[in-house]
């Protein structure tokens, strides 16, 4: 089991909820659209866009799950106001992906792509945060299909829509671009401790023009 991880500044203790959130018993399933069927022979995880050497990286399922495994204890805060606290996520840290497939020096943002074209954009520093992880497991068990099997992103310090389920790749970007929910009224950054829920709350510099 992983050790509880020290929180970064600005975050509260594990038992504390961000403003406006309430505790949820159990673990509800929340997403837009159908649950994709996992086809191992067709599945690949791609890193593309502004890589340092200009080359794409591509891992099949066997290769991806053989990457260095780590665990992170983190909460899930849905913008619809429920939170799930203290899950242990296991998988491949985003930092590991950044090390193996480094971005070019001018990369500032990433788009994380999932099945059916779902996407979410992140600042490179949020993606590179110590606890951002491509989770394959929760509390020691493989993720279920509806919770994102085989891989979902968990970004502990942002609202949960910033963590796509059924991830298929990462695009390194030299400018910011809105993802699926960020184009549809949700905040470009999505910090739950600042209650950055909706795009109308964005200040100058928080995101590209809508
Ligand atoms: N591919 C995909 N991932 C997604 C979503 C989605 O619509 N599609 N919804 C997000 C939202 S809004 C939340 S709250 C969490 C919910 O994760 P859970 O169903 O495992 O609780 O998944 C996130 N990841
Ligand atoms: Mo959500």
Express each pLDDT in 62-93 by its tens digit. 999 999 999 999 999 999 999 999 999 999 99
Listed in order, strand segments (DSSP E) in 61-194 are 70-77, 82-93, 109-114, 119-123, 133-138, 141-142, 152-154, 167-173
% of the chain residues with pLDDT over 90: 91
Nearest atom in ligand 1 to 77's CA: 14
Residue 132 Cα to ligand 2 middle (Å): 17
Percentage of the chain exceeding pLDDT 70 = 93
pLDDT digits (tens, 9 = 90+) for 129-158: 999 999 999 999 999 999 999 999 999 999
Residue 197 has pLDDT above 90, yes or no: yes
- Ligand 1 atom closest to the Cα of residue 31 is 7
Mean pLDDT on 24-38:
95
The answer to whether residues 161 and 120 touch, using CB atoms and an 8 Å cutoff, is yes
CA distances from 40 to 37, 84, 137, 170 (A): 10, 30, 17, 19
Integer Cα distance of 57 and 171 in angstroms: 11
Query: Quick check: 107 and 98 in contact, CB under 8 A?
Result: no
Higher pLDDT, 104 or 2: 104
Pick the CATH number of 40-201 from 3.90.420.10, 3.20.20.210, 3.10.20.740, 3.90.550.10: 3.90.420.10
Which residue from 165, 166, 190, 198 has its CB within 8 A of the most atoms of ligand 1, so it is best to mutate?
Answer: 165
Q: Which atom of ligand 1 is nearest to the CA of 148?
A: 20
Task: Spell out which residues line ligand 1, taking CB within 6 angstroms.
Answer: 27-32, 78, 114, 118, 147-148, 160-161, 163-166
Closest residue by Cα to atom 20, ligand 1, is: 147
Mean pLDDT of the chain: 94
Q: Where are the domains of the chain?
A: 40-201
């Amino acid at each position: 089991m992983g050790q509880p991880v020290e929180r970064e500044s600005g975050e509260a203790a594990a038992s504390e909820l961000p403003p406006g959130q309430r505790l949820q018993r159990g673990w509800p399933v929340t997403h837009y659209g159908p649950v994709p069927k996992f086809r191992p022979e067709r599945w690949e995880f791609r890193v593309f866009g502004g890589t340092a050497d200009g080359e794409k990286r591509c891992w099949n399922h066997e290769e991806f799950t053989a990457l260095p495994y780590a665990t992170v204890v983190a909460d899930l805060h849905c913008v619809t106001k429920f939170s799930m606290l203290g899950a242990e996520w296991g998988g491949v840290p985003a930092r590991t992906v950044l090390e193996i497939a480094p971005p070019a020096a001018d990369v500032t943002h990433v788009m994380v792509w999932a099945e059916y074209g779902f996407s979410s954009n992140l600042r490179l520093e949020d993606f590179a945060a110590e606890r951002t992880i491509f989770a394959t497991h929760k509390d020691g068990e493989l993720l279920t299909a509806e919770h994102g099997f085989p891989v979902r992103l968990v970004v502990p310090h942002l609202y949960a829509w910033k963590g796509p389920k059924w991830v298929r790749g990462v695009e390194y970007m030299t400018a910011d671009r809105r993802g699926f929910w960020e184009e549809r009224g949700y905040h470009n950054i999505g910090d739950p401790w600042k209650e950055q829920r909706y795009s109308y709350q964005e200040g100058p510099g928080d995101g590209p023009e809508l």
